Amino acid sequence: MLVGSCFHFLYPHIYPPFLSLHNPIPSSLSFCVASSAMDKSSTCTLFLCGKSSAETESAKSLKISNALKLPDGGEVSNLLRSEISNFQFGEEAFDVDLFINSLSTNRFGRFLIWSPRLSSTHDIVSHNFCELPIGAVCVGDVQFKGRGRSNNAWESPRGCLMFSFTLQMEDGKIVPLVQYVVSLAVTEAIKDVCNRNGFPSLDVRIKWPNDLYLKGLKVGGILCTSTYKSKKFNVSSGIGLNVGNVKPTTCLNAVLKELSTTSNEFRREDIMAAFFNKFEMLYDIFINQGFQTLEELYYRTWLHSGQRVIVQEKNEDRFVENVVTIQGLTSSGYLLAIGDDNQVCELHPDGNRYLALQFILLKPHCPLPPAA
Ligand SMILES: O=C(O)CCCC[C@@H]1SC[C@@H]2NC(=O)N[C@@H]21
């Protein structure tokens, strides 16, 4: 059972699960790291490439126009992927060709920016959103200013898969739910890579709202931010997944090693390609049929079905504790729970405390969604 505490009263629905780059969804602790003087960037090299000739043309024109900028105004050097050799950056560098060859999407992931070292893929994508084709992805081997939710830093060592991509949505009501589709695509991608390679399956679960857990430890996280422009929501989604570095918690390869007799390892490129292959399919279902169609899969993948939590409700000046059982998600993407007194409530995350939730009463008789 989890004990929550809450310190601020938030009114329901004025604080949607994500809103803008400056107001990402509050959540549990990210991997934290102090920023340092080393953060001052020198030149940031970005390699641009595309899956087909159309995206390669976009890469060429972005290079010629030098349109990509860093948020801190630092210098960017744009190079076409074809301008460097595969071996120049060592074996541990992201293998662009491996990724591109495993990608089977029509829209997502087809325009790629790779950097061996950059501040944050999320900064690159959100700062240059309008210059990039929709579905463009930026992947980095090392980030020196990785961003987590709630203004946390995201520790970004070599071996962690770190990428951000763009998408555009029209219906603001469903924008907060897209982060759950992203989480689901990550867990489905890991399953897919396990199946294809004959690996034992790893039980990576979603900890609402946006964390990925393996064997009780955080192994990944998702950051979605959006801005509104010309009647469209420009959404940047960032994924951090610790594939091959046991620091700071654990990684997929460490757990795979425990479960397997062979020396097989996950490759970041396979997981990222599988992610986009899955995401494109799940996103189309989400847009055409609604999140309800994905709910069953989502509830099978998250950690919370039937979970009982203690939440605090602010009652005038006092906090009153209540035990509630998690049922699923509300239509706006918060947690739907039912109290022992049958009172239905909506739970909001509270900053960095694990399920330190707001307890906001909905109408006592509002119908429940299908049981999780
Ligand atoms: O758990 C969290 O707080 C979310 C972490 C998201 C980290 C990823 S790594 C790739 C992308 N670039 C960033 O700077 N952040 C996201």
How does pLDDT run across 182-216, given as a tens digit for each residue? Answer: 999 999 999 999 999 999 999 999 999 999 999 99
**Residue 5 predicted with pLDDT over 50:** no
Interval between CA 124 and ligand 1 midpoint (Å)? 12
**Residue 365 predicted with pLDDT over 70:** no
Q: Tell me the pLDDT tens digit for each residue of 14-55.
A: 223 343 322 333 333 333 333 333 344 478 999 999 999 999
Beta bridge partners, 28, equal none
Phi and psi at residue 312, to the nearest 5°: -115, 130
Q: List, by residue range, all CATH 3.30.930.10 domains of the chain.
A: 37-301
Phi and psi at residue 214, to the nearest 5°: -135, 125
Interval between CA 125 and ligand 1 midpoint (Å)? 12
**Residue 258 predicted with pLDDT over 90:** yes
**Helix (H), strand (E) at residue 42:** none
Calculate mean pLDDT across residues 83-99.
82
pTM: 0.85
The strand ranges marked E within the chain are 2-3, 44-50, 76-80, 111-115, 137-140, 160-169, 205-207, 211-214, 217-229, 232-242, 308-315, 318-329, 335-339, 344-350, 353-361
Q: Which residue has better confidence, 217 or 369?
A: 217
Indicate whether residue 146 lines ligand 1 (CB < 6 A): yes
- What is the pLDDT confidence band of residue 284, given thresholds at 50, 70 and 90? very high
Nearest alpha carbon to residue 350 among 295, 308, 313, 297: 313
Determine what percent of the chain is predicted with pLDDT higher than 70.
82
Cα 220 from Cα 275, distance rounded (Å): 14
Interval between CA 155 and ligand 1 midpoint (Å)? 9
Indicate whether residue 149 lines ligand 1 (CB < 6 A): yes
- CATH number listed for the domain at residues 37-301: 3.30.930.10
Ligand 1, atom nearest to 148 Cα: 3
- Residue 360 has a pLDDT of 60
Whether the predicted interface score ipTM is above 0.95: yes
Indicate whether residue 114 lines ligand 1 (CB < 6 A): no
Q: Which residue has better confidence, 11 or 225?
A: 225
Long-range contacts of 83-87 (CB under 8 A, 24+ apart): 83/47, 84/47
Indicate whether residue 115 lines ligand 1 (CB < 6 A): no
Q: Tell me the pLDDT tens digit for each residue of 314-351.
A: 778 888 888 899 999 998 899 999 988 888 888 887 65
